[in-house]
Structure 1
Amino acid sequence: MRFRPNLRLRKTMRLFRRNLRSDSAEEVAPLLEQLQLKERQLLEAQRVIQQLQEQLEEQAAEVDALRRIGAAVGSAFEVDETLNALVEVALRLTGTESCHIYLLNENRTELVLRAADEEARPMVGKIRLKVGEGITGWVAREKRYVAVPREAYKDHRFKFFPEMREREYESILAVPLLHDNEVIGVINVRTHRPHEYSRNQVRILSNIAAQVAGVIERSRRLQQLERRAEQVSTLTEITRQIASNLYLEEILQFLVNMTAQAMGYKICTVMLIDEERKHLVLKATSSKSREYISKPNLPLGESIAGRAAQQGRIITVQDVKEHPQYTFADIAAKEGVCSLACIPLRTKGETLGVLNCYTARPHRFTDEEISLLSALATHAAIAIENSQLHIRSAILQEMHHRVKNNLQTVASLLRLQVRYGKQDSAETALLESINRIRSIAVVHDMLSREDLDTVSVRKLADNILSNVAATWLPEGHRVSVGVEGPELLLDSHRATSVALVLNELIQNALEHGVGAAGEGMVRVVISADDERVSICVENTGQPLPEGFDPQKSRNLGLQIVENLTRGELKGSFVLSGGETTRAEVAFALHPEPHP
């Protein structure tokens, strides 16, 4: 309904002016002023009524828009379905031809097209804009709407996508999607012809934007709750597994694999501190790359993980490839990793190592993530400590067993000394017994320093050769000694037998060979193939007596060699003379299984 000026009043005014000539001017003038005032008041009242009517129509349209938006939101269950429904509502309510909804990605660096009108729908998920790029990116950065009525493609902020046929559209209205004053995306509408966007259109699109923001926020909260539930379930499973397992390698490998899978990380690793060398050593990783697994140990205090371990605090990095303190940027580039969180493994105030979590893309580790990773790290540290205690307990039991066996061996050697060494002086007998006990001690020392189960024969020969030479070589003798051969490993039981054999053969070579001549050479040569091991002690100097048979000799050392070689090592012993005396012990590389 439109109000028109009062025709009767106007007719009265015309008649009144026509009759002015016949009436007195003084009498008519006040009446004329009153009539003119009434006319102005009437016109103003009509203008106000017109404004109120327009506002009422806008409010009715807005109510209708909200009703339609609510219906669209309420009828859709999936986010994508809701966004597509709101696109259709926006087109109908604003009377435009195109509508696009962009949402920020997880890292809040790019706007991704998530919903569009039917024409642009094939490009959903493919069109990306950096924040600040294009008109849409500018709206996201500035948090305020933009309306361009014509030639929007000539705007200095415009970014052209040929596949979107954007030059066909003249106008654009873009509104930010805000939640708690934080941008989560942008919605825009366009028309083919130039168009001045009314205040009502801006308000309607703003209402749609608010609804879209609410939908997205609710969806994200739901996803966070689902992800949190899954992560808590994973934490529970990891905790249960590591609490029931005493094998350290299995614990750590399970930890990195499950953490990478549950949290969606590219690579997870665990590095433990080597207290003796002050290094971080890689113990488990979810990466399959040989180059990554072969990374050298990391000194404490160096790189990101070294600092986290040394300082006992959590460190996060947005991009390791660009961080000046990250040591392996080249490997990171090849592996395709970007952000890093280093979580110290701590228990009882002591740092045992670090849990490193890498992502494939730039990522901001949330407080919730850090809290979860810290809980995992604490459980892992407790499991590592329990495993180490279990290992120490096993070591003590094993060492007790070995000490008992070796004491029995020492007792047997002393009985042999009493039986065969009656012609020796007390000093000689004691020195020989001391060297035999020291050779057993060398094996124990190497086991405690390097490995619980295996010993390097070459290192063993080096140690025994040095010890025996220091005992039996008089001052002034010019004798060269050395060990040749590969790094061959033997189990602890056979290593003890080999140590005693080497002690006797080296002592005989030094005492009866080069010792008698005052100069010469003693050399231990180690060789092995796929089946047998050969250990040969060679010496120059005084040769063997003619027709010497070690099996008929009453020499205690040779009796020990014979008994250990044939009894414990299941091998053979050959002693040959000439310019160089050779004492060779050979046995199978792999021991026969016990029946």
Structure 2
Amino acid sequence: MNGAQRSCDSEECDRFNRELAAAARAMAEEKDTEHTLERAVRTATDLISGCDFAGVFATRVHGTETPAASHEALRLVDHLQLELGEGPAVDALRGEFDLLVVNDLAADGRWQTWSARIVDELGIHSCLCYRLFTDGETLGALMLYAKQPHAFSGPDVENGHAVAAHAAVALHGALEHEQLHEGMRTRRTIGEAIGLLRGRYGLTSDQAFAVLKRLSSHRNVKLALIAEHVVDSGDVPGAADTIAASRERK
């Protein structure tokens, strides 16, 4: 490698680092999880030269989904992974790898049904999958796709590592905020349900909470969902037996 080539590589690396730093600051400043993830997706498609499409596959408060994608069809691609139980993002959520490089999905035999669908329907052949995690906790996956086989070079893979690391930190912070907000909402709903039960049936707070727990256990439904149903509908499923059992604790 001659001096001109080394200089060119150095300049390209400096440019990438500057743009990544700016993107990381922008991710940290986004107002909510959705905007944070959309910024991460834009960063991947802007900074990774071989990348045609990008998406984030994340475990959220309400389940696993694709909250950000550069192309709407990628949401269907990831839904198919969940439906089939196969695909790189599913494997990433299982913690089976931190990085996966697939040079030609048409020739790769690991996820035959899923791979065949995205090759045939979207013309996607190359894939990079980065597990997004902090402190060993898997948060999701950053998926990069390209239409050309062998589209991602060694520098693309390394640059993708850097983008994924920043995305994981930003996603972790956003999800912590989301979980805190959801926890506060859940506690408020449970409090409202307890208040409704106290006023309608003359229960103590402990008895009203015992009603909710009993319903949750018997119906195998999360307590927060039981409380939400009580608040929204005013209905207490199996009220007579459940409340009578709770009054016996008086």
Same fold (TM over 0.5): yes
Residue aligning to 1:395: 182
Instruction: Tell me whether 1:498 sits opposite 2:233 in the alignment.
Output: yes
Which deviations, in whole Å up to 9, do the C-alpha atoms of 1:270-319 show, x marking residues without a partner?
11247998xx6433211133xx4223353598333333443233121211
Counting only pairs closer than 5 Å after superposition, residues 423-462 of structure 1 correspond to structure 2 as: 437-438=211-212, 448=224
TM-aligned CA deviation for residue 267 of structure 1: 0.7
Tell me if structure 2 keeps the 8 A contact 1:267–1:358. yes
Q: For residue 357 of structure 1, report the CA deviation from its aligned partner.
A: 1.2
Q: Cα distance 1:223–1:338, how it changes in 2: closer, same or farther (>3 A)?
A: farther
Look up the SS of the partner of 2:150 in the other structure: coil
C-alpha distance in structure 2 between counterparts of 1:301 and 1:255, whole Å? 25
For the 8 Å contact 1:271–1:354, the answer to whether it is kept is yes
Aligned positions, number = 228
Cα displacement (A) at 1:358: 1.4
Identity percentage of aligned residues: 19
> Distance between the aligned counterparts of 1:313 and 1:441, measured in 2?
41
Q: Equivalent of 2:106, from 308, 321, 344?
A: 321
SS in 1 for 2:143: strand
Structure 1 residue identity aligned to 2:199: S
Residue of 48, 54, 61 corresponding to 1:268 = 54
Cα pair 2:57 2:142 within 8 Å, conserved: yes
* Shift, 1:362, TM fit: 2.9
Question: Which residue matches 2:168?
Answer: 381
Q: Which has the higher contact order (CA 8 A, sep 6+)?
A: 2
- With over 3 angstroms needed to count, the CA separation of the structure-2 counterparts of 1:274 and 1:241, relative to structure 1, is closer
CA separation of 1:366 and 1:448: change in aligned 2, threshold 3 A: farther
Amino acid at match of 1:390: H
8 Å CA contact retained: 2:213, 2:223: no
Q: Which amino acid aligns with 1:248?
A: T
Once residues 285 and 302 of structure 1 are traced to their aligned partners in structure 2, the CA distance between those partners, rounded to angstroms, is: 19
Distance change in 2, residues 1:403/1:356 (3 Å)? closer
Which residue of the partner structure matches residue 294 of structure 1?
Answer: 76
Matched, 1:355 2:142: yes
SS state of the match for residue 106, structure 2? Answer: helix
User: Which of 127, 134, 155 is equivalent to 1:368?
Assistant: 155
Amino acid of the structure 1 residue aligned with 2:20: L
1:255 matched to which residue of 2? 40
CA contact (8 A) 2:45 2:54 kept: yes
Instruction: Provide the C-alpha distance between the structure 2 equivalents of 1:361 and 1:497, rounded to a whole number of angstroms.
Output: 51
State the AA in 2 paired with 1:370: V
Q: Say if 2:58 and 2:140, in contact at 8 Å, map to a contact too.
A: yes
- Measure how far apart 1:246 and its partner are: 5.2
Return 5+ residue gaps in structure 1 as ranges.
1-178, 180-213, 418-429, 450-459, 461-491, 508-595
Q: Mapping of 1:566-577 within 5 angstroms?
A: none
- Provide closer, same or farther for how the CA distance between residues 498 and 366 of structure 1 changes in structure 2, counting only shifts above 3 A: same
Question: 2: distance between equivalents of 1:360 and 1:224?
Answer: 25
| 1:194 equivalent in structure 2 | none
Is 2:198–2:208's contact at 8 Å kept on the other side of the alignment? no
- More helix per residue: 1 or 2? 2
Find the residue that maps to 1:271 and give its secondary structure: strand
- Higher strand proportion (structure 1 or 2): 1
Change (3 A) 1:308 1:394: closer
Distance 2:46 2:115 in 1: 24
* Structure-1 separation of matches of 2:174 and 2:209: 37
2:89: which partner in 1?
Answer: 305
Q: Note closer, same or farther for the CA distance 1:359–1:252 as it changes in structure 2 (3 Å cut).
A: same
Give the TM-score normalised by structure 1: 0.33
Question: What's the CA shift string for 1:189-218, capped at 9, x where partnerless?
Answer: xxxxxxxxxxxxxxxxxxxxxxxxx7xx94
Tell me, yes or no, if the aligned pair for 2:123 and 2:147 is still in contact at 8 Å.
yes
Q: Deviation per CA, 1:389-441, whole angstroms, max 9, x where unpaired? A: 212222332233333333332332244x9xxxxxxxxxxxx9xx879944996
Higher gyration radius (CA): 1
The answer to whether the 8 Å contact 2:101/2:127 transfers is yes
In 2, Cα distance between the equivalents of 1:274 and 1:388? 7
Aligned partners of 1:440 and 1:496 also within 8 Å = no
8 Å Cα contact 2:189/2:231 also seen in 1: no
- CA 1:223 to 1:369, structure 2 compared with 1: closer, same or farther past 3 Å? same
- 1:246–1:386 Cα contact (<8 Å) kept: no
Q: Is the contact made by 1:339 and 1:362 (CA closer than 8 Å) also made in structure 2? A: yes
Unaligned runs of 5+ in 2: 241-250
